[in-house]
A and B are shown apart, each in its own frame.
Chain A
Amino acid sequence: MDEATRTLIDALVADARESTADLARQTGLDEAAVEEALADLEESGALRGYTAIVDWDELDREHVSAIVEVNVELDRETDYDDVAHRIAESSAVDSLRLMSGDYDFAVNVSGSSMGDVSRFVSEEVAPLPAVTKTVTHYVMETYKERGMTFTDGDDDDRLSVTP
């Protein structure tokens, strides 16, 4: 990966809404080259999408999220991918990862109530034949999400002019 592409990705990770013009300014590419690089990254699957980071506490809307640990027992007809595809079908799933350690899958789930999350676990995950155990951890507070800290952001206490 060349330096400009790396910078392009850094910029998008920091702010997916960057305009093409601003991306061009930060990378030193022209706008057409930025468009082309983005198309290549999307085409290859390296860039899977552009999404928002939301602090739900700031919105007048109920929002519950949880991390569900899932243990499975595989057989000759079922592998991890099979289980993963089945779980990932649910719109409640924000992310799904196969893990090393004490459990097999970590599932980030969200819904508008604890009932939504509970229903997802009890009706869509637990009944799967391969699933042997689930442990649900409700998120109580979010402090950082995908690199973005959930503070007021006004913590620059430097002098306004220094040498």
Chain B
Amino acid sequence: MSGDRRTDGGTEQAPDAEAGADGGRGSRFAPADRVASVPPSGIREFFEVAEKRDDVISLGVGEPDFTAPWPARSAAVDSLERGRTSYTANRGTVELRRAIAERVTRYGQSYDPDEEILVTTGASEAVDLAFRAFVNPGDTVALPTPTYVSYEPGVRFAGGDPLPVHTHHEDDWALTPESLYDAGVDEADVLVLCYPNNPTGATMDADEMDAVADFCREHDLLVIADEIYAALTYDGDHESVATRPGMRERTVVINGFSKAYAMTGLRLGYAMGPPEAVAAMTKVHQYTMLSAPTTAQHAALAALDRCDDDVEQMRREYDRRRRYVVSRLREVGLDVSEPGGAFYAFPRVADVAPDGDARAFATELLDAEGVAAVPGTAFGEGGEGHIRISYATGLDDLKEAMARLERFLAES
């Protein structure tokens, strides 16, 4: 409890913790300063507009349009039928941690399932745990922008100071030592990496990763590497910063089952790092979540054991859509970097948007053609002038959406 309580309200929104409203005019429940300082999610705001229409083709969905593979669902059902409804170990079941340890060897990662892996309630929890475990009040946390919407609020909730690091369309959203120096990351405490990237789809190649790793070692940075889209890499292999010399001991790697296995609603992720890192995160985890959902852990184990073919099939389908969407975006005159992973394209609309404003562009596109694409500004200031297009939707809808976009651009 600290600071002045906000009493002005100043919004027509209903009290809504998720949207960041202040909880009521003059209410005792005016949020703490660190909560009040976080603006409502740009995605949430846009979602509310999109929800008011029933003819919308949404390209704003950041989750697979597939259903979790049957073996995973079946294992979840079976675990319930067998009455496996109690807590698991704080760190997750031994079987799942072992399976995770075996799985991540394909990315060149090696972690001890007993001490170096923590199963969490979605990768989102793992990200939050990392911030809360390692960020002291006043610490600087560097966030390449544009990036996933939850990092900046997470840093603020932990009392840290976000430091944006601009990446640029012209450079295919590459993160380089120069961009890190320019942003002052050499003085920062933590660097968050999200590759393949949401929202740009950018990946890092081996040389780029080497260079960033060198920078992190030289400037003694702790790294939080969110690799939730690792399995959805299309060109080349997924590169993890934790595999670079001297990086394993300063990196927490985060991954999960939501994107690759279409298991978003089962909320299961994991964090990997040196024993002391996982111990610190486990301490926070055990006082909040205790353990990740038991049912979901059984589903995840089955997913690792028996769903490789399903994942490959989904990856191939995303790849096909990726090529289509990028091709069409370029045909209709929008400049877009080739996304190497995830399921997003992040075209530039600055030249065709009113005053270069991505939000205005997205709003007009929604109004005129019923196509919902998320304004790039939802992903930080580095996203201005762009929109995020998710191709986690069927090709027929993508074709129709691209046709509407083409018409919109021709008429505007």
- The residue in chain A whose Cβ has the minimal distance to the Cβ of B60 is A161
List A contacts of B150 (CB < 8 A): 163
Of the candidates A15, A25, A26, A161, the one whose C-beta lies within 8 Å of that of B50 is A161
Which residues of the partner chain A approach B43 to less than 8 Å between Cβ atoms? 161-163
Cβ < 8 Å to A, chain B residues 173-225: 198
Size class of the A contact interface (CB-based, 8 Å): 10 to 19
Once the chains bind, are B320 and A26 in contact (CB under 8 Å)? Answer: yes
Tell whether B34 is near chain A: CB-to-CB under 8 Å. no
- Which of A10, A25, A26, A28 has the most chain B CB atoms closer than 10 A to its own CB? A25
A7 in the interface, Cβ–Cβ < 8 Å?
yes
Report the minimal beta-carbon distance from A49 to chain B, rounded to whole angstroms: 22
- The total of interchain contacts (Cβ-Cβ below 8 angstroms) comes to 67
Residue pair A162, B61 in contact (C-beta under 8 Å) = yes
**Which of B198, B323, B328 has most chain A Cβ within 10 Å?**
B323
The answer to whether B40 has its CB under 8 Å from any CB of chain A is: no
Across-interface contacts of A10 in B (CB, < 8 A): 316-317, 320
Q: Chain A residues near B317 (CB, 8 Å)?
A: 10
Interface membership of A79, Cβ < 8 A: no
User: Nearest chain A CB to B361's CB is how many angstroms away?
Assistant: 15
| Residues of chain A within 8 A of B44, CB atoms compared | 161
Give the distance in Å from the alpha carbon of A15 to the alpha carbon of B397 in the complex: 13
| B261, CB-defined interface residue at 8 Å | no
Q: How far is the CA of A6 from the CA of B395 in the complex (A)?
A: 17
Question: B74: CB under 8 A from chain A?
Answer: no
Q: Is A108 an interface residue (CB 8 A)?
A: no
Q: How far is the CA of A163 from the CA of B63 in the complex (A)?
A: 8
Question: CB-CB < 8 A to A156: which residues of B?
Answer: 65, 393
- B374 contacts partner chain A, Cβ-Cβ < 8 Å: yes
A7-B320, A159-B47, A160-B51 known; A25 vs B327 contact (CB < 8 Å): yes
Interface membership of B46, Cβ < 8 A: yes
Q: Which residue of B lies closest to A24 (CB)?
A: B327
Complex contacts, B328 vs chain A, CB 8 Å: 25
Interface residues of A (CB under 8 A from B): 6-7, 10-11, 14-15, 22, 24-28, 156, 158-163
11 contacts between A and B (CB under 8 A): A7-B316, A15-B395, A25-B328, A156-B65, A159-B61, A161-B44, A161-B61, A162-B43, A162-B62, A163-B41, A163-B198
Point out residues on B near A: beta carbons under 8 Å: 41, 43-44, 46-47, 50-51, 56, 58, 60-63, 65, 148-150, 198, 316-317, 319-321, 323-324, 327-328, 372, 374, 393, 395-396, 399
Given contacts A27-B320, A158-B63, A161-B61, 19 further A-B contacts (CB under 8 A): A7-B319, A11-B320, A14-B395, A15-B395, A22-B324, A22-B399, A25-B328, A26-B321, A26-B324, A27-B323, A28-B323, A156-B393, A160-B56, A161-B47, A162-B47, A163-B41, A163-B43, A163-B149, A163-B198
